[in-house]
Structure 1
């Protein structure tokens, strides 16, 4: 079996996540589906890796492709568009492998340790669906809606507007307290039954991250994610010593080699990685094993499109140290069903695994007819 064509499909009107799909075609009729973000910058790398390492090759040689492409990406610094392209293509190759074996991908990874995966909701926006506004203006309504579907945790970014004017160097206690008003309301009504994850977007320096962390200790905080840039693990370890809240990070580290110092030096308690950024299913599985070696859980980042959600779910079904999975309800209640079939079921606060071969989903035929679709093919 050989790869005959690689194709990218970009639904260019979907914001705020400009992701795209990859389809890998074989001479035996199997078609693998992948996905990555940042279409404008990443699609050229998909073409490069496809022409150099995939066309005419066996799609089941996933490790061969991954290592050849990663070696070629060394010149660009182990991250960015090159790694996102590897991620999309890796996911598509695993999809083909599952189809050939007539098994879900999680079976190829070693089988499942759980039948359903606990999820939390990230507060984002899509068209008229806007949890970013709801969490700030009507946080109790947001939680009521989540609890109605069994979801008992959510994440949002309370402090970006405080950090940005000073480049993360200053925010008063009064400003922090005002930003935490939604959290206070939720805590007063729900106590410890609702967890809140804090997305920091890497905005703060160490003194301010410490101030924010210590203020938040009065609430039921799930974790503090990326309060500072993760490029200096020593300073994250210092922050960890200054708060009793767990630190989480970081999807901004793409591979096990980047993540190792963060874990080893005590810069995180919960490992965050994104299957469409870090190197695909192959690398997310290896990152989970690395985290498990240090007795740490993994809670994958997932904030782009439906194929990334499927790919993440397969890894989370397989790895023993899977804690919880990020989902975004305004996305899966918004555009996911426009693009793939079937869509993943989220019920009673859990994601239920697909049972079909490979990823268990495929693009809807109508995707190719969308007015906004940009298709490129490489042969």
Structure 2
């Protein structure tokens, strides 16, 4: 009985204090509280009053992951991109993109490793899931989840992601853009000029043997030769690594390719940096031919002219010409990927895609390591606007950053997939670094629904991925 009475007394005391607190806050809210009356209030009441405008949307120390779901978009708005949404016990959600063209299962596989965890422990959770990423599109799951974790952590602490990376080096991030290809050199140059007229100050053009493959005498052992070099092979030209196609480019072919660069420079001049990509599949000797022939046109770089794995061959190309070399969009992480390219100075510029490289923090680590060795640093990107903004935070927080790729200039609804920006995301060739919590954007669900892949539902439940069914430890 005594216990019961004491309990009742305690409950009445708590109730009385709560009523007093509410009365105090009500008076304060009505503006009827003076400094004198504040000084007479209890310590608890004073704390309640002075902290009434503090964000209480999240309690970071008790935040837990409760679910992960996917909405996969594509078509006229972007390359096929699975959008990750991570849910928590406090109602806030975080978003990231799986790499364009990658499978959503790369992310969903990670769900069982994250349920019940605090998303604010981004680096620790990355340590758990990183073993399930790899080069190319296989890095997309780990990278997309990492971005969603940063989005959640920023929202929980009410700060932008770049601030959690140590702050920013720039308020605006410079972007470069592609344009659509034309076999007519003059028309191609006109399209480049149109990009400049839109405000872009760095460009890239796709130029390669596909533009001249139907011209007699330009390409030896072409995939389109009448005798079809691949008719008895188990793999196509596109699936054959560059050194093994045995394609050669004749002097005539080199002259035809250089005509595109000559007309382009004659049109846009030499003030604008111009990079090149998609040269074709051929070996190191042909790559050196191209790099040397392009020297008069002062290209910003030749990108992925051979596969990134051939470090020694990249160094051979780099040393053979003054045309800068660049690779990296398909590399996962610093260790086991970028580290060797950078330490051996095999390329002039590294070009990670944060959607493959391991996410926002790993991309910053790559940039910082490149800076230490005097190597340039850019970002590739070809997915949705959520991860594009994730790239902006990584770029803002890395000292030696150059340019971020914008691959959706002509996709009118691409920017409409998200909300939170005043005006366009990209303006006059730059992106203003968001100062809102997390990544700084939220999804426009109506627009996401419009571009869902056929048969896909908007963030449908994924209970089949809730349970771990393997032993993940990599050592005995």
Structure 1 length normalisation: TM-score? 0.89
CA RMSD of aligned residues (A): 2.3
Q: Check whether the contact 2:417–2:443 (CA below 8 A) recurs between aligned residues.
A: yes
| Counterpart for residue 284 of structure 1 | 363
Partner of 1:138, secondary structure, is helix
Q: In 1, Cα distance between the equivalents of 2:451 and 2:103? A: 21
Partner of 1:180, secondary structure, is helix
Q: Which runs of 5+ in 1 are unaligned?
A: 124-130
Which structure has more strand as a fraction of its residues?
Answer: 1
Partner of 1:299, secondary structure, is strand
| Counterpart for residue 309 of structure 1 | 388
Q: Check whether the contact 1:17–1:37 (CA below 8 A) recurs between aligned residues.
A: no
What CA deviation, in whole Å up to 9, does each residue of 1:27-50 have, x standing for no partner? 1111101001356x5322222211
Q: In 1, Cα distance between the equivalents of 2:207 and 2:258? A: 7
Per the alignment, do residues 176 and 255 of structure 1 end up closer, same or farther by CA in structure 2, a change over 3 Å counting? same
Q: Check whether the contact 1:50–1:378 (CA below 8 A) recurs between aligned residues.
A: no
Instruction: Kindly indicate whether residue 130 of structure 2 is the aligned counterpart of residue 50 of structure 1.
Output: no
Instruction: Kindly indicate whether residue 128 of structure 2 is the aligned counterpart of residue 68 of structure 1.
Output: yes
Partner of 1:192, secondary structure, is coil
Per the alignment, do residues 249 and 279 of structure 1 end up closer, same or farther by CA in structure 2, a change over 3 Å counting? same
Mapping of 1:1-379 within 5 angstroms? 1-14=63-76, 17-38=79-100, 42-51=103-112, 53-73=113-133, 78-123=134-179, 131-133=180-182, 136=185, 138-161=187-210, 162=213, 165=223, 167=245, 169-200=247-278, 203-257=281-335, 258-331=337-410, 333-342=411-420, 345-367=425-447, 369-370=449-450, 372-373=452-453, 374-375=456-457, 376-379=460-463
Instruction: Identify which range, 265-274 or 6-15, moves more after superposition.
Output: 6-15
Q: Check whether the contact 2:67–2:86 (CA below 8 A) recurs between aligned residues.
A: yes
Q: Check whether the contact 1:187–1:220 (CA below 8 A) recurs between aligned residues.
A: no
Q: Report the Cα offset of residue 79 of structure 1.
A: 2.5
Q: Report the Cα offset of residue 189 of structure 1.
A: 3.4
Per the alignment, do residues 283 and 201 of structure 1 end up closer, same or farther by CA in structure 2, a change over 3 Å counting? farther
Per the alignment, do residues 54 and 121 of structure 1 end up closer, same or farther by CA in structure 2, a change over 3 Å counting? same
Give the greater-gyration-radius structure (CA): 2
Q: In 2, Cα distance between the equivalents of 1:105 and 1:229? A: 32
What CA deviation, in whole Å up to 9, does each residue of 1:248-281 have, x standing for no partner? 1111211102111111122111110001111111
Q: In 1, Cα distance between the equivalents of 2:377 and 2:323? A: 16
Q: In 2, Cα distance between the equivalents of 1:231 and 1:254? A: 12
Q: Report the Cα offset of residue 26 of structure 1.
A: 0.5
Q: Check whether the contact 1:233–1:266 (CA below 8 A) recurs between aligned residues.
A: no
Q: Report the Cα offset of residue 309 of structure 1.
A: 1.1
Q: Check whether the contact 1:339–1:363 (CA below 8 A) recurs between aligned residues.
A: yes
What CA deviation, in whole Å up to 9, does each residue of 1:119-174 have, x standing for no partner? 21122xxxxxxx22398551342233222233232112211415762836211222
Q: In 2, Cα distance between the equivalents of 1:2 and 1:353? A: 28
Work out the number of aligned pairs and report it.
365
Q: Check whether the contact 1:134–1:142 (CA below 8 A) recurs between aligned residues.
A: no
What CA deviation, in whole Å up to 9, does each residue of 1:306-339 have, x standing for no partner? 11210110111111100111112535x4231342
**Higher relative CO (CA 8 A, sep ≥ 6), structure 1 or 2?**
1
Instruction: Identify which range, 290-299 or 18-27, moves more after superposition.
Output: 290-299
Q: In 2, Cα distance between the equivalents of 1:61 and 1:229? A: 35
Partner of 2:300, secondary structure, is strand
Q: In 2, Cα distance between the equivalents of 1:316 and 1:198? A: 21
Q: In 2, Cα distance between the equivalents of 1:280 and 1:272? A: 13
Partner of 2:376, secondary structure, is coil
Structure 2 length normalisation: TM-score? 0.72
What CA deviation, in whole Å up to 9, does each residue of 1:180-205 have, x standing for no partner? 33321121234311222111466221
Q: Check whether the contact 2:100–2:383 (CA below 8 A) recurs between aligned residues.
A: no
